[in-house]
Amino acid sequence: QLQLVESGGGLVQPGGSLRVSCAASGSRLDYYDIGWFRQAPGKEREGVSCIHSNMYSKYGDSVKGRFTISRDSAKNMVYLEMNSLKPEDTGVYYCSAKWNPVSTICTIVPQHWRNEYWGQGTQVTVSS
């Protein structure tokens, strides 16, 4: 059974950087898309970024140019590097794994990940 654990969240000032990690156990991630999602209090879950096993990646408009997703197959890990952070980036960040041996792209539409594997989340707070 695939399990995901996020880490690396914390408090950072506006304009700062943070890297959150997603560690997988129980299965290799080779044929899984990995997505990062976030949820702020009172708001719906939002797709942030995803990465396919072929390294295709996609970003939400609000983070494009500031966030970078990457994956390390040897370590079975996925990372989200976040730069130029803004207060509106605050939220709980979740990673999710979606079995995808057929398509060559990934999606960040939250509804498409509803029944997939999820981690417990890590809190990111951007505040001065």
Q: What is the pLDDT of residue 103?
A: 85
Query: In the predicted model, what is the mean pLDDT of the chain?
Result: 96
Q: Which structure tokens are listed for 62?
A: 């609000």
Looking at residue 70, its pLDDT comes to 97
Q: What is the pLDDT of residues 16-72, one digit of tens each?
A: 999 999 999 999 998 899 999 999 999 999 999 999 999 999 999 999 999 999 999
- What is the rounded CA–CA span in Å between residue 76 and residue 80? 14
Angle at 110 between CA 80 and CA 59, to 5 degrees: 40
Flag whether pLDDT at 88 surpasses 90. yes
Nearest of 113, 111, 32 to residue 77 by alpha carbon: 32
